[in-house]
Amino acid sequence: MRRIHLIFSLLLCLIALPTLAQPLECPAERAPIIAAAQTACLELGRNQVCYASPGVVVEPLPNVRLDFGDVGDVAPLSSLTAVSTEPFSPETPSLGMALMQVRANQPVDGLTLLAFGETRLENLSQTGPDFIALEVQVTEATGANIRQQPSAESAVVRPAYTGDFLTAIGRLADGSWLRLPDGWISADLVRSDADLTLLEQVAAASEAAQVYSAMQTFRLRTGSDDAPCRAWPDSGLLAQRRGEVADVLLLVNDAPLLFTGTLWLQTTAEGQTLVSVLEGTLLYNQDRRLEAGQQMSYGYRGETIVYTEEVAYNYARALPLPLELLPRPLERPFSLTGVIFPFVPGTGFLQGIGADDACTAAWTVDVNLRAGPGTNYPIRQGVAADFYGLPDARAVGADGEVWWRLAEGVWLAANSTAAAGACGDLPLVAPPPIPT
């Protein structure tokens, strides 16, 4: 029985250990690499991709030749079948980053996509560079009919009801009828906040058009858990809406994502697509909603896309994201996911951590996590007993006591914890300014 109890205790220790403890020492400084990428893409235009840092590969359409092999080069998205970026290279040193401006369903501003690390986007749209789609709403009290051709005598494809939102992708020259992906609707039966004259003029007998603009619908694949150290991000994709007119619509791995603000997207080794909201909101799976600081994942089960429940996103993983390259600054929503982890007291948890392992600080009493090293800093969040964290630095507070930094802006008094591992090797940093 004692042997069984010992084995059980060791298993608990192994379960409690996180799988995301990257090394503290980084092979290169992050700031100059990010700054160089910012400078490289200052002249990026709509529906273009920029070679932001070494390690970007584009795949053009057949018979298309591009001069795209150096930092600062730009290419039209409509001429590409795929954009890939490469993982961190300690020899260069560099992190592959590609910056894209995508029109999507926006008449003016569109959105910014930033791919970094081991990331690949396959462009699934076949539209030209001037394609645009606009949202219209049915206002006719009796509803409307979507017809095969722009004529009241043409056959009905399907009905539309009062209040329905539809996607217009073209118009007749006189604006009397609007082209939809599956037919036509009279312009007198709908209204829109957008300028419908921006829609492409099409002939009455035109073939069905593609709904999505270049790189508005794509297949995404990224590396996972591949950050070389805590200061660098895992591979992924950032998407930020530039304008304030309408929600941005993306189709990512076959799932429609309608959002305001900023998304962070990754894929897992199991083929799931992981979506985190950094600001704004996300509408998906018809009527489900994701708020800032939440994440969900989805993937195929048979022929059906299945979505997980909403949970708190991983704040610790979000800290090194290259948000500086996005057009609009934002503050990461706070969460303790990825910062602290539960453990079972009385199982010899800390005894299983070697002297050269990552510093681990555990507590068996309720504690307050603060914005800096001292009780003169505001409380970020109170935390119950029986959790631990992985400090990346330490500081001496105004009270003369040592404090652990569990993550940027998250500090814990060392005298409230028991610690193991190479805590003496942690860098001693100056206390940050006290928030006003």
User: What is the pTM assigned to this prediction?
Assistant: 0.80
Residues 159 and 145 in one domain: yes
How high is the pLDDT of residue 129?
A: 54
Distance from C-alpha of 274 to C-alpha of 192, rounded to nearest angstrom: 33
Distance from C-alpha of 88 to C-alpha of 232, rounded to nearest angstrom: 9
Structure tokens at 304: 């059906």
How high is the pLDDT of residue 108?
A: 66
Residues 296 and 397 in one domain: no
Give me the DSSP letters along 27-94. Answer: SS-SHHHHHHHHHHTTT--TTEEEEEES-EEEEEPTT------STT-EEEGGGEEEEEE---BTTTTB
The residue among 273, 302, 325 that closes a domain is 325
Residues 73 and 150 in one domain: no
Identity of the amino acid at 304: T
Q: Which distant-in-sequence residues (6+ apart) come within 8 Å of 178 by Cβ?
A: 136, 168, 170, 171, 184, 185, 186, 187, 190, 196, 199
Assess if residue 352 is contained within a domain.
yes
Residues 356 and 244 in one domain: no
Residues 26 and 119 in one domain: yes
For 31, the domain range is 19-128+214-325
Structure tokens at 70: 């150096």
| Count of CB atoms situated within 10 Å of the CB of 25 | 11
Q: CA dist 146 to 135, 161, 168, 192, 416, Å?
A: 15, 10, 12, 17, 67
- Tokens 């935390």 found at: 383
Residues 227 and 106 in one domain: yes
The residue among 278, 294, 325 that closes a domain is 325
Q: Which of 29, 24, 11 is nearest to 421 (CA)?
A: 24
How high is the pLDDT of residue 19?
A: 42
- Residue 100 DSSP SS3: strand
Q: Which of 248, 115, 134, 226 is nearest to 181 (CA)?
A: 134
Q: Specify the CATH number for the domain of residue 110.
A: 2.60.120.1440
Q: Specify the CATH number for the domain of residue 171.
A: 2.30.30.40
Report which DSSP code applies to 429. Answer: -
Half-sphere exposure of 349 (CA within 13 A, CB side): 22
Distance from C-alpha of 78 to C-alpha of 130, rounded to nearest angstrom: 9
Q: Number of structural domains, the chain?
A: 3
Assess if residue 433 is contained within a domain.
no
Q: Which of 25, 22, 23, 20 is nearest to 340 (CA)?
A: 20
Residues 107 and 225 in one domain: yes
Assess if residue 330 is contained within a domain.
no
Assess if residue 332 is contained within a domain.
no
Q: What are the pLDDT tens digits along the chain (436 aa)?
A: 334 333 333 333 333 444 445 666 777 788 899 999 999 998 898 889 999 999 999 999 888 888 899 999 999 998 899 999 999 888 888 899 999 999 887 766 789 999 999 999 999 986 655 567 778 999 999 999 999 899 999 999 889 999 998 878 889 999 999 988 778 999 999 999 888 888 888 887 665 544 577 899 999 999 999 998 888 999 999 999 987 656 888 999 999 999 999 999 999 999 999 999 999 999 999 889 999 999 999 999 999 999 999 999 999 999 999 999 999 999 999 999 999 999 999 888 999 999 999 999 999 999 999 999 999 999 999 999 999 999 999 999 988 999 999 999 999 999 999 999 999 999 999 999 998 7
Residues 280 and 263 in one domain: yes
Report which DSSP code applies to 196. Answer: G
